[in-house]
């Protein structure tokens, strides 16, 4: 230890003025001198069930917005858990995921939302998270939630300002809907539950948060391999295409998609095995793949563009011809 370092440590211990000032400041500090504000977490949890993209919603069991549907979430246990820990805890409470299953869930911060008046109780800032994984279990109400359900994203379009159902593209990748899945039979479906009617409207500013989460998911699977997080450890290219079709809301050309996926270094790697059964139309069994080591996709898999009107209508200027 250098002499300067000894003086610094010994001075702090012996009554360094700077350290004394800090201690005195904290002792006199009054947190009640500032307006109270709470911090919550909300989770946009996405999974595929029956080949369709679903989001986890809970029915609120008490006010405010009693009986309305909302994203799972809750208050952060201040001083006892981190934001990430709070999000994982809330997700586990609503889905029944244990610690081992939680490790399979991709969980990332989506954004923070703190508009004045977003919560009628008091000023509340929420930190939203985006989560997705394959085979998530049946939802169950936890905490103050009366019940919970996996709801088809397509049914929420009206409450999200149309953001939940993008128009289908007209690029060469657009094609007829894909045939019956020919993979191992587990991977893109999270269960056998019947899709429920869309519970509208959503409480708080949750329509905006869900819309932002869907936009993030659609964008990230263009340039990252996160689409594989919706699948089991081993999957077919057909199953992977199903993820893209469900999230983007557009059918993709099977051959073009297959070539693009295999042309991206590190996106997927073959397992050397095949699916347990063949396709609905017969033929050889599909090859199985697993996620590769790539963190970014280069070249990216771009979303099909939205269709445009082939012929624009003439504008009426009001002048006689």
pLDDT for the residue numbered 21: 86
What tokens appear for 23 in the block?
A: 């201690």
List, in order, residues 6 or more apart from 80 with CB less than 8 Å away. none
* Cβ proximity of 218 and 303 under 8 Å: yes
Mean of the pLDDT values across residues 247-269?
96
What tokens appear for 33 in the block?
A: 């001198």
CB neighbours (10 Å) of residue 245? 20
Q: Which of 18-22, 125-129, 311-315 comes out lowest in average pLDDT? A: 311-315
List, in order, residues 6 or more apart from 21 with CB less than 8 Å away. none
CA distance 248 to 85: 30
Tokens 């007209």 locate to 170
pLDDT tens by residue, 68-118: 999 999 999 988 999 999 999 988 887 777 767 777 889 999 999 999 999
Longest dimension (CA), the chain: 96
Q: Who wins on pLDDT, 9 or 287?
A: 287
Taking alpha carbons only, the member of 212, 219, 189, 169 closest to residue 54 is 189
CB neighbours (10 Å) of residue 33? 6
CA distance 214 to 159: 13
CA distance 247 to 215: 10
Bridge partners of 235, per DSSP, are 289
pLDDT for the residue numbered 2: 52
Mean of the pLDDT values across residues 165-181?
34
Architecture of the domain whose range is 38-156+166-291 = Alpha-Beta Complex (3.90)
Predicted confidence (pLDDT) at residue 35 exceeds the cutoff of 90: no
What tokens appear for 202 in the block?
A: 């959503």
Helix (H, G, I), strand (E, B) or coil at 220: helix
72: Cα within 13 Å, side-chain hemisphere: 32
List, in order, residues 6 or more apart from 210 with CB less than 8 Å away. 44, 55, 71, 156, 160, 164, 202
Predicted confidence (pLDDT) at residue 135 exceeds the cutoff of 50: yes
* Cβ proximity of 189 and 48 under 8 Å: yes
Helix (H, G, I), strand (E, B) or coil at 215: helix
């Amino acid at each position: 230890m250098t002499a300067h370092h000894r003086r610094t440590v010994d001075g702090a211990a012996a009554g360094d003025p700077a350290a004394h000032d800090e201690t005195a400041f904290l002792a006199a500090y009054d947190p009640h001198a500032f307006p109270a504000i709470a911090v919550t977490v909300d989770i946009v949890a996405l999974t595929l069930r029956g080949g369709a993209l679903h989001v986890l919603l809970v029915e609120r069991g008490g006010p405010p917005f009693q009986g309305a549907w909302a994203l799972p979430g809750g208050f952060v246990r201040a001083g006892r858990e981190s934001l990430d820990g709070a999000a994982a805890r809330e997700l586990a409470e609503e889905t029944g995921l244990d610690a081992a299953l939680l490790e399979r869930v991709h969980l990332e911060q989506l954004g923070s939302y703190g508009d004045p008046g977003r919560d009628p109780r008091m000023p509340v800032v929420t930190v939203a998270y985006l989560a997705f994984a394959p085979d998530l279990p049946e939802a169950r109400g936890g905490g103050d939630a009366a019940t919970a359900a996996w709801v088809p994203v397509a049914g929420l379009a009206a409450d999200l300002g149309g953001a939940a159902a993008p128009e289908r593209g007209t690029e060469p990748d657009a094609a007829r809907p894909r045939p019956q899945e020919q993979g191992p039979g587990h991977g893109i479906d999270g269960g056998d539950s019947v899709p429920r009617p869309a519970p509208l409207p959503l409480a708080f500013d949750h329509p905006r948060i869900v819309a932002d989460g869907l936009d993030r998911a659609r964008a990230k699977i263009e340039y990252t391999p996160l689409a594989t997080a919706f699948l089991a450890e081993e999957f077919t290219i057909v199953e992977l295409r199903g993820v893209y079709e469900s999230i983007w809301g557009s059918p993709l050309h099977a051959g073009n998609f297959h070539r693009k996926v295999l042309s991206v270094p590190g996106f997927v790697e073959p397992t050397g095995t095949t699916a347990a059964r063949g396709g609905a139309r017969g033929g050889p069994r599909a090859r199985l793949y697993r996620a590769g080591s790539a963190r970014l996709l280069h070249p990216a898999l771009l979303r099909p563009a939205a269709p445009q009107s082939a012929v624009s209508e003439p504008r009426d200027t009001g002048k006689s011809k």
